[in-house]
Structure 1
Amino acid sequence: MKSDHRINYTKHVLQQSLLELLEEKPLNKITIKELCMKSNISRATFYAHYVDIYALITEIEKHIFSSFQLEEFLLNLDNDSFPTSLNLANILSLVKSHATFYKIFFNHHMHDGYMSKALVQLQSKITSYWVKKNIYSDQITADYAFVFCKNGVLAVIKEWLNKDALLQETPQATSEVINEILASVQKFASDTNNPG
């Protein structure tokens, strides 16, 4: 029990130290030596818990999303009404409640995190629907369209987070904006591929 407390304390100190360093510089400029000095923890102790700094940042984000049931979210998506069924409000609520972390995360171009991976898990479900409905003529085009939309969603979330708190739309309102944009992209593609 005492050992668990020590492990939790060590991880907490490393996480907090990393977040403080991220306010000063991008992740790829932070060394393990620098992190260990800041947190007053030895390199050996760091390596006892993490293989590298990227593993640490992944753990921070996983902890934030531990209450979010990704598998249930994916199962409940309705292919026949995508993208208007894509309710991102719960994800955006989590992002907003950890705004300090995510502002740092997005402003340093760290898009290869849990949220990005969650969107990638949607890829086959979404792109197969697009091809089935002849919105895009083939899988390659649908995959590129998905990448376009995914990066757009992440960019909107970044812009939303960087707004002043008083001007920031609610998670639900932002989710609706994202869906409206995705729907218009889908309609444009469908009209282009099925003229007249």
Structure 2
Amino acid sequence: MPRQNPRVQYTRDALRCALLELLLEKPVKHITVTDVCARAGINRSTFYLHYKDVYDLLEQMENDLIDEMGRTFSTQPSASLQGHIEAMLCVVQARRPLCLAILSEHGNPQFVKQLGRLTREGFLQHWRSLFPQAPERLLELVYAFSTSGASAVIEQWLLADCNEPPEQIAHLLSLFAASCLNSCKTMLDS
């Protein structure tokens, strides 16, 4: 991959940081290109060399994060489910400011759903192997419950400056999912 011009990288980084700061203050629909440029100390015409509008900038940032998380699955295809969760949490921790902004009250609620679509099939496939008799609908409900709870746990972890190591949070999330699945198995067996 060719190396990017340092000035271009600096400009993009400054614009991205400015948007992240602004997202913690107000919703994206109230953030203008002028706001981003003023915060970044970048000229508006320079902004438009890189992005169409504020939504394009945010979408590119989110897509980069999704791509990075997706690579954790493709680079570790044989990892355990907990291993995948831990790898994703390492990405979340490394990209903490972006994740905090996205998960904030002014962030993009669709992002969590997009991330859920990324992980969905891997989780369901793993659970099908553990509980082959479980109805598909039940697994879907457990997944919905687990991802909602995981989002809340991850948000709290981010807000607490990621005090616990990713492997500890991954273990906790795996235990929550396993507990839920074991309860469902008990229900099916009775």
Tell me, yes or no, whether TM beats 0.5: yes
The residue number in structure 1 matching 2:154 is 157
**Structure 2 CA distance for partners of 1:47 and 1:93, relative to 1, 3 Å:** same
Please tell me whether residue 106 in structure 1 is matched to residue 107 in structure 2: no
The normalised TM-score by structure 2 is 0.74
Q: Which runs of 5+ in 2 are unaligned?
A: none
**CA deviation digits over 1:51-101, x for unaligned, max 9?**
4434323433526974973342562255xxxx5x45422322332233333
CA contact (8 A) 2:86 2:166 kept: yes
Give the residue type in structure 2 aligned to 1:188: S
Give the residue type in structure 2 aligned to 1:56: L
The residue number in structure 2 matching 1:181 is 176
CA distance in 1, matches of 2:99, 2:79: 25
Please tell me whether residue 89 in structure 1 is matched to residue 90 in structure 2: no
Q: Which has the higher helix share?
A: 2
CA distance in 1, matches of 2:76, 2:54: 29
Please tell me whether residue 120 in structure 1 is matched to residue 117 in structure 2: yes
The normalised TM-score by structure 1 is 0.73
**Structure 2 CA distance for partners of 1:87 and 1:101, relative to 1, 3 Å:** same
Give the residue type in structure 2 aligned to 1:76: S
CA contact (8 A) 1:95 1:102 kept: yes
- Deviating beyond 6 angstroms after TM superposition, the runs of 4 or more aligned structure 1 residues are none
Judge which range, 125-134 or 29-38, deviates more. Answer: 125-134
Superposition pairs of residues 3-22 of structure 1, within 5 angstroms: 4-22=5-23
CA distance in 1, matches of 2:89, 2:109: 15
CA contact (8 A) 2:73 2:84 kept: no
CA contact (8 A) 2:72 2:88 kept: no
Please tell me whether residue 136 in structure 1 is matched to residue 134 in structure 2: yes
CA contact (8 A) 1:74 1:122 kept: no
% identical aligned pairs: 22
CA contact (8 A) 1:19 1:101 kept: yes
CA contact (8 A) 1:15 1:60 kept: yes
CA contact (8 A) 1:119 1:150 kept: yes
Q: Which runs of 5+ in 1 are unaligned?
A: none
